[in-house]
Amino acid sequence: MRQRYIPKSFGPTDGEAAAGDPFASAEEAWFWFIRCQCARLQGARFEPGRVETRRPCDPDDLYRAVMGLHRARRLGGVHLRVLGVFGLRERPPDPRRREEELSARLWGEALDMLTTVLKAKGIVA
């Protein structure tokens, strides 16, 4: 029989309560995810128990949630682009600026759908 190697999850397993403080909003969770991804690209490694604020998920859980919505065709490519651009800017689009009006609408739609998924998983309070 071939042995399977599965990476250890830092998050809770089935039957365990979420260990950590849930995010106040999907927007807060998204900015956290973007910061984690930027740190990874710069070579950071994440280890359990080595953070000040424990979170109820891994950064990969947010990625999977967004990509699940994309695969279900609830989030389009334009939504993903807006999430990426403004996530890297570390600020939401400003609906008062003419050039960001459409981005603000897409941002709101994307985070609304993401909030529903993240609340069901206990990631957002």
Cα 77 to Cα 41, 66, 74, 103: the distances in Å are 22, 11, 10, 12
State which residues of the chain have pLDDT below 70.
1-19, 46-53
21 belongs to a structural domain: no
pLDDT at 54: 74
pLDDT at 20: 78
pLDDT at 122: 92
Per-residue pLDDT of 61-75, as tens digits, reads 999 999 999 999 999
Are 100 and 52 in contact by the 8 Å Cβ rule? The answer is no
pLDDT at 1: 62
* Residues spanned by the domain of 103: 26-43+55-120
9 belongs to a structural domain: no
14 belongs to a structural domain: no
16 belongs to a structural domain: no
Domain count, the chain: 1
